[in-house]
Amino acid sequence: MDDVAKNIIEILKKHMKEPRDDISLDTELTELEIESLDLAMIVFDIEDTFGIEIPYNANEEVEDFKTVGSVVDRVSALVSGGNDQTSSGAAA
Amino acid sequence: MTNSNGFKRVVVTGTGVVTSLGSSVDQFWDGLKSGACGIDQIAGFDTQDLYITIAGECSDFEPRERLSSKLLLLADRYSQFAGAAAAEAIEQSGLEVPFVDSDRAASIVGSGAGGLNTLEKAYYDLFALKKKATHPLTLLRTIGSSACAHIGIEYGIKGPTFGTVSACATASHAIGLVFDMIRRGSIDLGVAGASEAVVNYGSMRAWQAMRVLSPEGCFPFSKTRNGTVLAEGAGILVMEELEYARARGAKILAEVKGFGMTSDAADMVNPDVEGPSKAMKFALDAAELIPGDINYLNAHGTATTVNDANETDAIKRVFGDAAGSLAISSTKSMHGHLLGAGGGVEAVACIKAMEDNFAPATIGYAEPDPDCDLDYVPNAGREMEINYTMSNSFAFGGLNAVLVFGRPPE
């Protein structure tokens, strides 16, 4: 697991009432009992940590926020320079 | 004259608005009837790096058109909106100014946020420009009670004067409080409603961070809805005790029949079915009406995924079989979400709907949603007999306020 993944899992754990140690890339966010406002705060923390912007919209089902791995992929892509906000999931 | 429950009757004799559809009730109602949309790209400030760049701005608002007092011309934009809407409402009411029975009059005009434009500028001056001082009026402009105080000063209102604060239910709470005070006999008349001016960079940033705004538009109850759209403006009513209004020969526009308020006491953002249902039920009970009496319901209808489905469930719970024949629309699709001021302009929409026998549409309705399966008057308004209307306001924090209006008493 790379640093981006480790960092994101730490952020997720910080926002969980009872942090778990068994979170893997395959873990679905719904399993972590993360609600809409939690997700807004998690996305904020991720943006702040990595210096990126993710136009996530709580009103939409976004594939990027399905599993821990999909979040990691999205963030990795943004960190490596593909920060094309107009093509991000939430705005679509 | 009192109701069968011993309470005095309360009527509306003046209405005033400032909205993205225009800064008068006539322009507002013309816009609603024709299905116009006041939501557009933000022009009032540089949207810089925002990815939400639309709002319902009051771009044609000219403070000097209705405001003459120097105090109000120096006030925050939110107070100017309130002052202009109050001026329109009071002019329509024909009340003598300053009010004669000043101790028996109220000014209950709230705001969800108060003078945020002023605060933003002051903080920018201090933190970014490192200025040594803020403008001397910063505090007076910012406080959430400046609108009600300004209106009180303008019209000589010396009775209950304060602002309500309940996010998106602010105006409905204000109208409901004045309704209650008049019907219990503690005052004879009042100016009630709310004002909001939060379309600025800092506030858009805060809303964008909550991830509930749509980048495209406000599409309530449609399967395609993807968030709400912020707007600014004000909505104000002049309300009087029925005999007080009759004695001075006032033209009566509508009767305020009922008011219900509850709190979910559950979650800051996710609404509950029970709180909104009970608020609607309490408003009907206060009005001594049954669900089938209501012809048109101006929904809270924010166009967030969660609100619209939840509100639909709550309406079904209260209205039962009558829900199917109820015309429901969210005029936010046209004027945007005025937050605290929403219930004020939506109360005016309800009153005009009865006057004109016309249910305004929910525009931008593209696709039915199985979770929202009632009649939302999609895309085109409808001529129909409207004798009683209901206005729903459900706020963050689970704060619910519902008003019921009827035609002017015979």
Give the nearest chain B residue to A48 (CA atoms): B209
How far apart CA B39 and CA B11 sit, in angstroms, is 32
Q: Which of B150, B173, B300, B335 is catalytic?
A: B300
Residue B4 lies in a domain: no
> Which chain B residues are within 8 Å of A35, Cβ to Cβ?
270
Closest CA to B228 of B172, B306, B298: B306
Q: What pLDDT score does A50 carry?
A: 94
SS3 A34: coil
In chain A, the percentage of residues whose pLDDT exceeds 90 is 50
Tell me how many domains chain A contains.
Answer: 1
Active site residue B335: no
Shared-domain flag, residues B150 and B290: no
* Residue A31 structural domain: 3-91
- 3 state SS for B238-251: EEEEHHHHHHCCCC
Q: What pLDDT score does A92 carry?
A: 29
- The CATH number of the domain where A23 resides is what? 1.10.1200.10
Number of A to B CB contacts under 8 A, please give it.
47
* Residue B67 structural domain: 10-247
How far apart CA B350 and CA B347 sit, in angstroms, is 5
Is the bond preceding B271 in cis, omega lying within 30 degrees of 0? no
β-sheet bridge partners, residue B325: none
β-sheet bridge partners, residue B406: B255, B388
SS3 B6: coil
Q: Which of B209, B212, B270 sits opposite A59 (nearest CB)?
A: B212
Instruction: Say if residue B120 is exposed, middle or buried (CB neighbours under 10 Å; 0-12, 13-18, 19+).
Output: middle
Shared-domain flag, residues B271 and B240: no
- In which residue are the tokens 């997720």 written? A12
Residue contact B51–A35, C-beta within 8 A:
no
B51/A contact by beta carbon, under 8 A: yes
Give the nearest chain B residue to A44 (CA atoms): B209
Shared-domain flag, residues B289 and B223: no
Which tokens in the block code for residue B187? 């005052």
- The CATH number of the domain where B172 resides is what? 3.40.47.10
How far apart CA A45 and CA A56 sit, in angstroms, is 13
Q: A48, A57, A78: best mutation site toward chain B, by most B Cβ within 10 Å?
A: A57
β-sheet bridge partners, residue B195: B234
β-sheet bridge partners, residue B105: B189
Q: What pLDDT score does A49 carry?
A: 94
Q: B48, B50, B51: best mutation site toward chain A, by most A Cβ within 10 Å?
A: B51
Q: How many helices (H) and strands (E) does chain B have?
A: 14, 14
Active site residue B150: no
Which tokens in the block code for residue B25? 């009730």
A87/B contact by beta carbon, under 8 A: no
Residue contact B209–A40, C-beta within 8 A:
yes
Among the candidates B196, B219, B247, a domain finishes at: B247
B130/A contact by beta carbon, under 8 A: no
Backbone angles phi, psi at B310, to 5 degrees: -65, -40
- In which residue are the tokens 């909001």 written? B196
Q: What pLDDT score does A87 carry?
A: 38
Residue B88 lies in a domain: yes
Q: Residue type for B396, please?
A: F
Shared-domain flag, residues B165 and B83: yes
Residue contact A91–B305, C-beta within 8 A:
no
How far apart CA B284 and CA A74 sit, in angstroms, is 50
Q: A37, A59, A65: best mutation site toward chain B, by most B Cβ within 10 Å?
A: A59
Q: Which of B211, B215, B225 sits opposite A58 (nearest CB)?
A: B211
Q: Which of A37, A55, A85 sits opposite B268 (nearest CB)?
A: A37
Tell me how many domains chain B contains.
Answer: 2
Among the candidates B247, B270, B290, a domain finishes at: B247
Q: Residue type for B345, please?
A: V
Q: What sections of B124-250 are H helices per DSSP? A: 138-142, 146-155, 170-183, 201-210, 242-247
B352/A contact by beta carbon, under 8 A: no
- Are B18 and B81 contacting, i.e. CB atoms less than 8 angstroms apart? yes
Q: What pLDDT score does A89 carry?
A: 35
Which tokens in the block code for residue B140? 């007076």
Q: What pLDDT score does B1 carry?
A: 61
Shared-domain flag, residues B207 and B346: no
SS3 B385: coil
Residue B269 lies in a domain: yes
Closest CA to B120 of B98, B138, B105: B138
- In which residue are the tokens 């006030």 written? B75
- Are B367 and B222 contacting, i.e. CB atoms less than 8 angstroms apart? yes
Q: What pLDDT score does A90 carry?
A: 36
Residue B1 lies in a domain: no
How far apart CA B347 and CA A66 sit, in angstroms, is 41
Among the candidates B247, B269, B286, a domain finishes at: B247
How far apart CA B345 and CA B331 sit, in angstroms, is 9
Show pLDDT as tens, one digit a residue, over chain A (92 residues): 799 999 999 999 999 888 889 999 999 988 888 877 888 999 999 999 999 998 889 898 878 888 999 999 999 999 887 544 443 333 32
Residue B167 lies in a domain: yes
Show pLDDT as tens, one digit a residue, over chain B (410 residues): 667 678 999 999 999 999 999 999 999 999 999 999 999 999 999 998 999 999 999 999 999 999 989 999 999 999 999 999 999 999 999 999 999 999 999 999 999 999 999 999 999 999 999 999 999 999 999 999 999 999 999 999 999 999 999 999 999 999 999 999 999 999 999 999 999 999 999 999 999 999 999 999 999 999 999 999 999 999 999 999 999 999 999 999 999 999 999 999 999 999 999 999 999 999 999 999 999 999 999 999 999 999 999 999 999 999 999 999 999 999 999 999 999 999 999 999 999 999 999 999 999 999 999 999 999 999 999 999 999 999 999 999 999 999 999 999 98
Shared-domain flag, residues B164 and B36: yes
Residue contact B51–A53, C-beta within 8 A:
yes
Which tokens in the block code for residue A42? 């998690």
Q: How far is B261 from chain A (nearest CA, A)?
A: 25
Give the nearest chain B residue to A62 (CA atoms): B226
B48/A contact by beta carbon, under 8 A: no
Residue contact A59–B51, C-beta within 8 A:
no
